[in-house]
Amino acid sequence: MNEKYASLFESFTLPNGVTLKNRFILAPMTHYSSNPDGTISDQELPYIAQRSKDIGLVITAATNVSDNGKAFPGQPSIVRDTYIAGLKKLADTIKGEGAKAIIQLHHGGRESGADLVPNGDVVAPSAVEKEGAATPRALETAEVQQIVADFGEATRRAIEAGFDGVEIHGANGYIIQQFYSPFSNRREDEWGERLRFPLAVIDSVRSAVDKHGSKDFIVGYRFSPEEPETPGLTMKETLELIDALVEKPLDYLHVSLMDFHSTARRGADASAKRIDLIQERINNRMPLIGVGSLYSAEDVAAAKDTGVPLIAMGRELLIDPEFVTKLKEGREDEIIRLIDPAREDHHGLPDPLWNIILQTKGWVPTKE
């Protein structure tokens, strides 16, 4: 391998003592390819196997923990024990390639599909209108408590399925972020204290690990740094969230960014990179995973040079599942940088995901 990429292949030890073989993370990506009932499909296994080879840690697609939290057609589910057998196949496939297997736990909240949840009952912290979407129903207190418990039960199922850990999906505008956001949480009860729900979910997950798992079970947390809405999350509030998260027994934080080098919108110096502000606030108290539009070997090396210890890749590993292998073998000049609509066989994607990539212009770089 080229020496300038060698540090990406150094091992890394998480706070719980688990060692990752390198610094590469497969980012969680929605693939629209599970069976209609949320069970794992035959198409998912070869797709994830290809993208697990030579990766240190693999995070699965967002997997809904409650029936009323399904946000995508073809989304995998972990809502009942009957799903464990299929999820075990998924975990075994990832681990069989030598990567740590992490399942991302998710509830869509107001972003759930009315056609995907029972009786079309879309729920959220508060009944706040949002342009282009139906107004959700505000959750009752008991329902909030049930969703918190659902994250714990999902963790138990993940342990029984053989996963090495879970990632709590607190990003991208889904229910955990909705509770923290001043835009979507207008509650006047105890759940109007906006940090309460994210921290309660972490406690529920940790309790399940303490009861059913082992000390080497990994728990991570993903967050988004800002929201475009007013009032919405700003960098100032995200930095306050980080202060709370680093006090919890987590093994990593994972920032969700479309562009690794993007700058702050509000609540901080607008010329400052979000990733730098976040790293400065964490101050080595917890490992950070960075992500966002890293499509070449040079992109990944530059991201690592910022001091972020773990680098996630999503869309580039959709384009070329052998990216890391090629880098490891000194074949970086062979890395594929664009989806070729005429060569579906180059990319190894499930049919539903392939079709959505071709239909969604600008999401994944595609050859004209």
Q: 7: Cβ–Cβ under 8 A, 6 or more apart, which residues?
A: 23, 304
Please check whether residue 364 lies inside any domain of the structure: no
Selection from 250, 127, 237 nearest residue 177 by Cα: 237
What is the model's pLDDT at position 131?
A: 79
173: domain range? 3-359
d(CA 214, CA 153): 16
pLDDT band for 139, please (50, 70, 90 cuts).
very high
Question: Averaged over 308-317, what is the pLDDT?
Answer: 98
Lowest mean pLDDT among 72-81, 87-96, 338-347: 338-347
Amino acid at 1: M
Output the pTM of the full model: 0.98
Residue 173 near residue 111, CB atoms below 8 Å: yes
Tokens of 25: 């993370």
Please check whether residue 253 lies inside any domain of the structure: yes
Question: Averaged over 228-255, what is the pLDDT?
Answer: 96
Q: Which residue has the tokens 């693939």?
A: 31
Helix, coil or strand: residue 75: coil
Selection from 311, 316, 319 nearest residue 348 by Cα: 319
Strand partners, 254: 222, 289
Flag whether pLDDT at 30 surpasses 90.
yes
Please check whether residue 366 lies inside any domain of the structure: no
CATH number for 208: 3.20.20.70
Please check whether residue 337 lies inside any domain of the structure: yes
What is the model's pLDDT at position 339?
A: 97
What is the model's pLDDT at position 143?
A: 99
d(CA 79, CA 357): 28
Alpha helices in the chain (DSSP H): 44-50, 84-96, 141-161, 175-180, 196-212, 235-245, 274-282, 297-305, 315-319, 323-328, 351-359
Flag whether pLDDT at 32 surpasses 90.
yes
What is the model's pLDDT at position 132?
A: 78
Please check whether residue 180 lies inside any domain of the structure: yes
Please check whether residue 203 lies inside any domain of the structure: yes
In degrees, rounded to 5, the angle at the alpha carbon of residue 135 between the alpha carbons of residues 134 and 138 is: 140
b (16+ CB within 10 A) / e for 273-287: bbbbbbbebbeeebb
Count of structural domains, the chain: 1
Please check whether residue 367 lies inside any domain of the structure: no
Please check whether residue 16 lies inside any domain of the structure: yes
The model's pLDDT over 209-220, given as tens digits with 9 standing for 90+, comes to 999 999 999 999
Q: Which residue has the tokens 């736990």?
A: 105
What is the model's pLDDT at position 230?
A: 87
Tokens of 71: 């946000």
Which 8-state DSSP code applies to residue 133?
B
The model's pLDDT over 36-64, given as tens digits with 9 standing for 90+, comes to 999 999 999 999 999 999 999 999 999 99
Flag whether pLDDT at 134 surpasses 90.
no
Flag whether pLDDT at 130 surpasses 90.
no
Selection from 1, 16, 8 nearest residue 216 by Cα: 16
